[in-house]
Amino acid sequence: QAKDLGGAEHCGFEPSLHALAEEQRQLEDSLRSALDNDEFELVYQPVVDANGETVVSFEALLRWNSRLHGHVSPAKFIPMAEETRLILPIGKWVLREACKRAMQWPPHVMVNVNVAPPQLLEPGFAKMVEEILDETGLPADRLEIEVTESVFLSDATVARTALESIMSLGCSVALDDFGTGYSSLGYLRTLRFSTIKVDRLFVQGAAQGNRESLAIIRAVVAMTESLGMTTTAEGVENADEAALIRGLGCTKIQGYYFGRPMAAREAISMLHREATQRSRIA
């Protein structure tokens, strides 16, 4: 009897599979025209040095404000863009837009751009990066491309070659969300990543007293140091977490505590405020 009840009730609460598929299809349709409709925006989240005093970079994060669906989370539309390969034109727009913006910042501030596996694996990706750098005038050493370990899953050789090409342009490459995927220490041996980004999962865990998270961050810091790479802790939300991360020796910090992702204009204001403060101290 309980089984009957549960089954029937449950059905009433779940949107039907058909409705889900329909929603998915509509979202995909809208995504197809989002670039032409000017529905994308980049927001910028500061990455600060371990002291929390200097903005060393901004990570460009994509936002989609759809006419039809309102704000759609990147967690929802990025995978969809990857599956449909719409990430190729969208990603190119992101790269160009982010490089243009970075040209408005002081030269010591870098820009971080996320690149999804289909983008990196597309023939001519490095060439496209080179063209956009030429076109915008951004020096290659001010661009850091962020990839996750998942780029090595489908074709590791192509991924490696593409990353090496980007590095030979003079760009940096960061390994994003480190520790959440299929961690592949082998790639660290031969690819010159500049930064390992420690996922928020570990930062949160360590702050909550989870010994395994703490041990993992320690190990990543030690490893990156001896490999001549830097570490960025992601998702630092409060002063306690910032102090902990600083104590553990991470090189850079990113998170709501130091700044939420913000509009391009606000990012510039933040840099202005920082410059003013610095000249006051000097």
Among 176, 207, 217, 245, binds Mg ion (CB under 5 A): 176
Q: Name the residue nearer to ligand C2E (CB basis): 1 or 50.
A: 50
Q: Helix (H, G, I), strand (E, B), or coil: what is residue 66?
A: strand
Q: Which does 261 bind (CB under 5 to 8 A by kind): ligand C2E, Mg ion, none?
A: ligand C2E
**CA gyration radius, the chain:** 21
Q: Name the one range near ligand C2E by CB under 6 A: 19-27, 178-186, 229-237, 245-253.
A: 229-237
Among 25, 103, 106, 256, binds ligand C2E (CB under 6 A): 256
Question: Given the structure tokens 């063209």, which residue do they identify?
Answer: 131
262, burial (CB in 10 Å: exposed 0-12, middle 13-18, buried 19+)? middle
Strands (E), 136-254: 143-148, 172-178, 195-198, 230-233, 252-254
**259 phi/psi in degrees, rounded to 5:** 155, 135
* Residue 207 near ligand C2E by CB under 6 A: no
Shortest Å, Cβ 234 to Mg ion? 5
Among 48, 94, 173, 217, binds ligand C2E (CB under 6 A): 94
Q: Which does 120 bind (CB under 5 to 8 A by kind): Mg ion, ligand C2E, none?
A: none
CA 62 from chain center: how many Å? 9
CA distance 18 to 27: 14
CB 155 within 8 A of CB 120: no
Among 99, 133, 176, 213, binds ligand C2E (CB under 6 A): 176
Query: Which residues from 125-154 bind ligand C2E, rule CB under 6 A?
Result: 146
* Residue 149 near Mg ion by CB under 5 A: no
Q: Which two tokens stand for residue 210?
A: 């989870």
Binding site for ligand C2E (CB under 6 A): 45, 61-62, 74-75, 78, 91, 94, 114-116, 146, 176-177, 200, 235-237, 254-256, 261
